[in-house]
Amino acid sequence: HCLVLAEETEAGPRLVAYVVPATSGPPDADGVPMELNLNDIHTHAAGMLPQYMVPTAAAVLSEIPLTVHGKLD
């Protein structure tokens, strides 16, 4: 899973990607998170998206915080 947010900085807005690695095994099992290479993710995004849509920063999260109703918290 991944989400991208626009964050305000002193230099202006930038896109930041937050990535949750897939796990090995079935989705309902407590699998081991797969290793991610953020440079590979950035390269892939740059090859698929217009430059203005490519996040300039990325971070790996263990899970995306959601409300009880499944919306971003």
> For the segment 14-72, what is each residue's pLDDT rounded down to a tens digit?
999 999 888 755 555 566 667 788 999 999 999 999 999 999 999 998 888 889 998 88
Q: What is the DSSP letter of 24?
A: S
Residues in Cβ contact with 41 at an 8 Å cutoff, skipping those fewer than 6 apart:
17, 19, 58
Rounded Cα gap, residues 15 and 57, in angstroms: 7
Query: Which of 4, 27, 22 has its CA nearest to residue 14?
Result: 4
Classify strands 57-60 and 12-19 as parallel, antiparallel or unpaired: parallel
Total length of the chain: 73
Question: What is the value of pTM for the model shown?
Answer: 0.74
pLDDT of residue 73: 74
